Structure 1
Amino acid sequence: MRITTRMITTRYTKSLNNLAYELDRLNNQVATGRKHMNSSENTAEAVKAFQIRRNMSKVEGYLSNIEYAKDFLTNSETGLTHLQEIVQEAKSKIVAGMNDTQSKTEREVIATELRDLLMQFLQTLNTNISGRYIFGGTNTETPPFEIVDGKLHYNGYELDSLEAGTEDYNKLLNDSLTIDIGLGLYFNPDSTVNKGSVFGYSITGIDITGSGTTDIDGICVSNNIYDLLRQIAEEFESDDYSHDKVDALFGHFEKVSGNVLKKMTEVGSKTSYLKFMKERYDDQTFNLKERQVSVEGIDTAYSIILYESQKVAYNAALQMGARLIQPSIFNFMS
């Protein structure tokens, strides 16, 4: 059979194209560090790679949520620390005011100082970070605490009127901010998020201040820190000042103000849990990246050797083509 120049050219061009395609494929591998550019090249590995990337995306989302919650808790801890400092200062002033050597004028000065602390206490309860109130539960848009007719209100409810265990009290107590950190998010039959499947990262204000009232020796005493401190200040200003009454109020104040320290401990526990979850997800991220490399990645050194070998083969083919396909008379015709 006669082999024509056209046949040689066709076969040569096809072989050269194959070499060029393989050279380009190897070049892409070396440049990107990936075995395949398209899922069609290896469907089975593409499915594995997709699953790994999906898991990595989930973990990245959880880590982002954890960082957000940690920042929120850090701000909450700062606020609670300030509240605790105010409480401690108030205790010192109350003890000083209860000294029998104090005159009425001196007690009035202490009462004024206590009222200054009340203002600081209220301002701290309404701490706003980046446009969000941190102690208002899901109410982050408006100040959760306000004074109405001299009494402390929380999200529209007078705290002295809210007794523990009532429907309104439980609603406010459980009204906390939550976030998905991979605890198995699911919904209740009524389409609400199940609280056990998300992480609660906010401290509700009512849980800090306390609510309701208590009867002490026939006296109706507030259970919330703010109004109780106000009652003590009023007693220091009263013409009928009673040391025994202030002593009883102070004993109750020491009890209810312990809420602040309890909440600081709770914030610490929540922060520690987030730290544990972050470490867990960091380990998962490391393992997923290793799996991703094993599925999608290349052996860089080996791929470079293949690429250089293919480049040599391609250049050799070009040189061979120059010898195989000799010029004919048609190359010189115009």
Structure 2
Amino acid sequence: MKQVNRPSDDPLKVSKILDLKNEIKQNQQYKTTISDSIDFTNIQDSALDSMTSSLQRIYTLTQQAANGSYSNDDRQSIKSEIMSEVETMVDSLNTNFAGRYIFGGQASSDKPFSVNKENGGFELVFNNPAGAPNGNVSKEIGRGVMVELQTDGSKLFNAFTDSEGNAQDLNALFSDLFQALDSDDTEALGGRLLTGVDKAMNNTVNQRTNIGAIQNRLIAARDRNEEEYLNLETTRSLTEDIDLAETYMKYSMQMVSYQASLNMGTRILQTNILDYVR
């Protein structure tokens, strides 16, 4: 039951009720965005967990290949396993959530990573469409409150800098690693390449940490959103809905007064001139 049924009943109250309903609607839109973003970061975390596992296995295999007692055939077997781990890693990085590639930057409809095996090669490719922005995706989770989802795949592809300060990407790292395995270069395998894999792993962990921090912020925003929703609904109900207990009490009191008035009226009507003659 409502306190007002038409705008003409109380224009100011109706205006306030409409404003509250708009606030509640916007609150629910923010809630949807926050929930979707939390799910998105969960998928990202799972993908980076898989990538970290692949890099840990590649690190172990590189360490084994640096052993001087291994033959070239042994290193070729290791090379095949590393290639398989790289493809597993690419599959994780190409995870699609609700039609969006989680590390596709702002061009989220395009698959960001691929492996090129043309002419017997093995090239890890970061697919950045020409002219497409390669940054993170921003989401509005509250009035004037923005959060950046870490969707920029280039931060994972450009893994680290070498000892000379030059940027190194994953494709260059793995290309050098495969070349060292082919040439039995144990010094490179146990030195700069092992260090490179370790740096790539640390970079992945750092990106995962950033995503975890964003996820914590989103969870806090969800809690605030739910609290705000309860406050808005309470205010709307107090403004729009009647208080049944209070209304019933007022009704009962009015009925008592009404009955008393009827009784008094009945007694007055029953009085005639003969009553005064007596």
Q: Shorter-normalised TM-score: what interval?
A: 0.7 to 0.9
| Offset from partner CA, 1:241-270 (integer Å, 9 cap, x none) | 222122211112211331110111011100
Measure how far apart 1:183 and its partner are: 4.9
1:244 aligns with 2:187: yes
> Are residues 151 and 183 of structure 1, via their aligned partners in 2, closer, same or farther at CA, if it must alter by over 3 Å?
farther
Match of 1:87 in 2: 55
Contact 2:56 / 2:201 at 8 angstroms: preserved in 1?
no
Measure how far apart 1:307 and its partner are: 6.3
> Are residues 305 and 153 of structure 1, via their aligned partners in 2, closer, same or farther at CA, if it must alter by over 3 Å?
same
Match of 2:101 in 1: 133
Unpaired stretches in structure 1, ≥5 consecutive residues:
1-28, 159-167, 185-196, 318-334
1:142 aligned counterpart, secondary structure:
coil
Match of 1:297 in 2: 241
Pick from 63, 79, 103 the counterpart of residue 71 of structure 2: 103
Pick from 139, 143, 165 the counterpart of residue 179 of structure 1: 139
Pick from 225, 233, 236 the counterpart of residue 281 of structure 1: 225
Q: Report the residue type matching 1:229 in the other structure.
A: F
Measure how far apart 1:100 and its partner are: 1.8
1:151 aligns with 2:96: no
Identity score, percent: 20
| Offset from partner CA, 1:68-92 (integer Å, 9 cap, x none) | 1111111111111100110111111
Q: Report the residue type matching 2:233 in the other structure.
A: K
Pick from 33, 37, 62 the counterpart of residue 69 of structure 1: 37
Q: Report the residue type matching 2:142 in the other structure.
A: G
Unpaired stretches in structure 2, ≥5 consecutive residues:
263-278
Whole-Å Cα distance in 2 between the matches of residues 277 and 97 of structure 1? 48
Whole-Å Cα distance in 2 between the matches of residues 131 and 125 of structure 1? 14
Match of 2:269 in 1: none
State the TM-score, normalized to the length of structure 1.
0.68
> Are residues 151 and 311 of structure 1, via their aligned partners in 2, closer, same or farther at CA, if it must alter by over 3 Å?
farther
Match of 2:152 in 1: 204
Q: Which entry has the higher C-alpha Rg, 1 or 2? A: 1
> Are residues 157 and 301 of structure 1, via their aligned partners in 2, closer, same or farther at CA, if it must alter by over 3 Å?
closer
State the TM-score, normalized to the length of structure 2.
0.80
Contact 2:123 / 2:175 at 8 angstroms: preserved in 1?
no
1:51 aligns with 2:19: yes
Q: Report the residue type matching 1:151 in the other structure.
A: E
Whole-Å Cα distance in 2 between the matches of residues 277 and 227 of structure 1? 40
Whole-Å Cα distance in 2 between the matches of residues 266 and 119 of structure 1? 24
Measure how far apart 1:208 and its partner are: 1.3
Match of 1:20 in 2: none
> Are residues 155 and 109 of structure 1, via their aligned partners in 2, closer, same or farther at CA, if it must alter by over 3 Å?
closer
Match of 1:323 in 2: none
Measure how far apart 1:60 and its partner are: 1.2
Match of 2:179 in 1: 234
1:198 aligned counterpart, secondary structure:
strand
Measure how far apart 1:113 and its partner are: 0.7
> Are residues 72 and 311 of structure 1, via their aligned partners in 2, closer, same or farther at CA, if it must alter by over 3 Å?
farther
Q: Report the residue type matching 2:211 in the other structure.
A: V
Pick from 37, 52, 55 the counterpart of residue 5 of structure 2: 37
Whole-Å Cα distance in 1 between the matches of residues 15 and 34 of structure 2? 29
2:109 aligned counterpart, secondary structure:
coil
> Are residues 157 and 211 of structure 1, via their aligned partners in 2, closer, same or farther at CA, if it must alter by over 3 Å?
farther
1:180 aligned counterpart, secondary structure:
strand
Q: Report the residue type matching 2:230 in the other structure.
A: F
| Offset from partner CA, 1:91-144 (integer Å, 9 cap, x none) | 111111111221221111111111111111122221122332111112222211
